Amino acid sequence: MLSTTDHTADHIVCAEDLVFSHGERNILDGLSLTIARGTVTVIMGPSGCGKSTFLGLLGGRLQPASGALRFDGKPVPRTPGPDLFRMRRKMGMLFQNSALLTDLSVHDNVAFPIREQTSLPEELIRILVLMKLEMVGLRGARDMMPSQLSGGMMRRVALSRAIALDPVMIMYDEPFVGLDPVSMGVILRLIRSLNDALGLTSVVVTHDVSEGCSIADQVYLMDNGRIAGNGTAEEMLGSKDPWIRQFMQGHADGPVRYHHPAGDYLEEIRGG
Amino acid sequence: MARSAIIIRRATILKKFGAVRMEPIMKLGQWTIGFTCGLGGACVFLVVALRGAARSLLRPMLIVQQLYATGVLTMLIILVSGLFVGLVLGLQGYYQLVSFSAESSLGMVVALFLVRELGPVLSALLFAGRAGSALTAEIGLMKATEQLAAMEMMAVDPMERIIGPRLVAGIISMPLLAAMFSAVGVLGGYLVAHVQFGVDPGMFWSSIENGVDLIDDILNGVIKSLVFGFVVVWIALYEGHRSVPTSEGVSRATTRTVVASSLAVLGGDYMLTAIMFGGF
Ligand SMILES: Nc1ncnc2c1ncn2[C@@H]1O[C@H](COP(=O)(O)OP(=O)(O)OP(=O)(O)O)[C@@H](O)[C@H]1O
Ligand SMILES: [Mg+2]
């Protein structure tokens, strides 16, 4: 089912048998996947299955207990500081809650990575920032502070900040949560058009099936810290596998685990 | 993981000793382990933060911004408090000294109290309450809202960009604030002495000139406030950095900053005084 040990150059991310745990619980438990250059890859799975954790590993913020993870041909885990920072300059990341720097204006937020990583003159930075903001339609909001923005606007600002340094790959953590239908459509179109216009690779982590499928070149389904299925959106939607079918169609009954691991219900109620 | 090990150990101890009440001893043990772990973590943090601070020296604008936030914004409360402390010292000193007809030494008494003890200690306590708590809350919220993680993902080291400049600015501003506290305090003492009680101004100032030594008193006071500033900012930044990323976690961390740094300042003052003036 999976083409795991595929270290060819057209795969920008190769994860093999990743294990990651918090305390005794294995959050990721033998996760393997590959992400092809230039595609939009959507990773879907129930809430709490470890999607954000995977992005943490991919960005080098978390360390796996075992397994291999390569980005652009180089191993990520336990890379020393300067090399890791060099690697991160090729990544953009959109956090689940935007993570804008609250003491800086919209313009300065987008300018932040440019100012930190380059020594371009201020006039050039201003033009670059305006270009990035224009792409997300927020050139007019450049002087506002993050606290004056709505959630959808913040996400678009965070998106233009993530592409400020023209990364090779961009990671989106739950980009669709809490958006109205219009903003949702805007973000969806942005992800797709940025990917194609800038030649990026996009990794979208979400639990919104229909939105995820509408932009995906490739879909991975995650369950219990490992990959439960992969393929194109059509393949996934037409799958015969009971777990995949239930997740994709959102039925209440079936093999998808909804409860956090726990002891026996009756016993706990009786006070055993 | 450390916690579960402690719990397992507790269970085996309870089995061994059966009815004997071990709770207080175990509490003490747990507290000791927790304290030691905290101290170790704080030291590791300090090494990383100092490295960040050294690199942030190349970016003076960041430090200047923080000097404003931690130093300048704390000035008002320092000046007002210093004035009142000086007024009270003047009153109390005069009431005591006048019964020996020694009110001519009032200037020296006020100045020594301020320069040696009250200036560094009280301004450090105020600094902990005003600037330290703000630092902890700021760092804690940056962590809770993933701003620090976002910086790391933008290949920016938060230790260099955020923690370092704050550490440097705190260490610079504390002695300056303490000096202002003492200066305003002496002025307050003078107001009481001259305006209220009619002590001769010449006597007041010359007693200070004769009684206060540059090395023994002023330099030692400056060293104290340098140490206090360092300790307060260290605690504040560490507590913010390790805070649990929730609103409750940040509020707890802020409380811990004020409590721990106040205790550290008062305890540290005893030790420094013993070393500096006790002839060790
Ligand atoms: N600091 C932590 N300590 C212990 N467990 C944690 C910690 N952080 C996360 N977890 C656990 O890791 C699991 C995966 O978390 P993660 O944030 O990766 O989920 P997710 O797939 O992104 O979910 P969502 O879609 O809701 O964002 C969760 O079940 C959570 O309980
Ligand atoms: Mg998540």
* pLDDT per residue as tens digits for the range A51-68: 999 999 999 999 999 999
The residue with greater pLDDT, A215 or A6, is A215
Question: Residue A24 above 50 pLDDT?
Answer: yes
When the pLDDT of each residue in chain A is averaged and rounded to a whole number, the result is 87
Q: What is the pLDDT of residue A177?
A: 83
Cα–Cα separations (whole angstroms), residue B72 to B79, B122, B123, B169, B172:
11, 17, 13, 11, 12
Q: How many percent of chain A have pLDDT more than 70? A: 95
**pLDDT tens-digit map of A197-247:** 888 999 999 988 888 899 999 999 998 888 988 889 888 888 888 888 888
Q: How confident is the model at residue A3 (pLDDT cuts 50, 70, 90)?
A: very low
The dihedrals phi and psi of A25, each to the nearest 5 degrees, come to -90, 130
In this complex, do A99 and B152 lie within 8 Å of one another by their Cβ atoms?
no
User: How many structural domains comprise chain A?
Assistant: 1
| A89 reaches B (C-beta below 8 A) | yes
Cα(A86)–Cα(A234) distance, integer angstroms:
37
Q: Which of B 114-143 lie inside 8 A of A, CB atoms? A: 141
| B154 reaches A (C-beta below 8 A) | yes
Q: What is the pLDDT of residue A37?
A: 92
**pLDDT tens-digit map of B244-272:** 999 999 999 999 999 999 999 999 999 99
Cα(B212)–Cα(B118) distance, integer angstroms:
15
Cα–Cα separations (whole angstroms), residue B163 to A164, A201, B68:
24, 33, 15
Establish if A68 belongs to a structural domain: no
Q: Considering only CA atoms, which residue is closest to atom 25 of ligand 1?
A: A47
The helix/strand/coil state of A64 is: coil
Q: What is the pLDDT of residue A152?
A: 84
Structure tokens at A102: 């609250």
Residue A128's closest CA among A140, A141, A113?
Answer: A113
**pLDDT tens-digit map of B103-140:** 889 999 999 999 999 999 999 999 999 999 999 999 99
Q: How confident is the model at residue A1 (pLDDT cuts 50, 70, 90)?
A: very low
- The DSSP H or E segment spanning A109 is helix A106-117
Establish if A97 belongs to a structural domain: yes
Cα(B54)–Cα(B59) distance, integer angstroms:
10
Q: How many percent of chain A have pLDDT more than 90? A: 48
In this complex, do A85 and B4 lie within 8 Å of one another by their Cβ atoms?
no
Number of C-beta neighbours around residue B37 at 10 A: 11
CATH number, domain of A51, equals 3.40.50.300
In this complex, do B154 and A116 lie within 8 Å of one another by their Cβ atoms?
yes
Q: Residues A183-200: what's their mean pLDDT?
A: 88
Establish if A159 belongs to a structural domain: yes
Identity of residue B24: P
> What is this structure's pTM?
0.85
| A118 reaches B (C-beta below 8 A) | no
Establish if A24 belongs to a structural domain: no
Establish if A167 belongs to a structural domain: yes
**pLDDT tens-digit map of B213-222:** 888 889 999 9
Atom of ligand 1 nearest to the CA of A49: 21
Structure letter (DSSP) for residue A65? S
Stretches where chain B sits below pLDDT 70 are 1-21, 279-280
Structure tokens at A239: 């799958």
Cα(B176)–Cα(B219) distance, integer angstroms:
13
Q: Residues A96-115: what's their mean pLDDT?
A: 93
Q: Look-up: residue for tokens 């800086």?
A: A104
In this complex, do B149 and A97 lie within 8 Å of one another by their Cβ atoms?
no
Establish if A263 belongs to a structural domain: no
- Write down how long chain B is: 280
Q: Which residues of B touch A97 (CB under 8 A)?
A: 145-146
Q: What is the pLDDT of residue B233?
A: 96
Establish if A153 belongs to a structural domain: yes
Q: What is the pLDDT of residue A198?
A: 86
Q: Are B157 and A85 in contact (CB under 8 A)?
A: yes
The alpha carbon torsion through B37, B42, B43, B45 (nearest 10 deg) reads 120
Number of C-beta neighbours around residue B46 at 10 A: 16
Write the ipTM: 0.84
Q: What is the pLDDT of residue A4?
A: 43
Establish if A7 belongs to a structural domain: no
Question: Residue A257 above 80 pLDDT?
Answer: no
- The DSSP H or E segment spanning A213 is helix A209-215
Cα(A79)–Cα(A132) distance, integer angstroms:
30
Nearest neighbour of A97 by CB, restricted to B146, B154, B161:
B146
β-sheet bridge partners, residue A250: none
Angstroms from B81 CA to nearest CA on chain A: 30
Q: Which domain holds residue A92?
A: 39-56+80-249
HEC letters along B31-92: HHHHHHHHHHHHHHHHHHHHHHHHHHCCCHHHHHHHHHHHHHHHHHHHHHHHHHHHHHHHHH
Per-position DSSP letters for A135-154, written without gaps between them: HTT-GGGTT--GGGS-HHHH
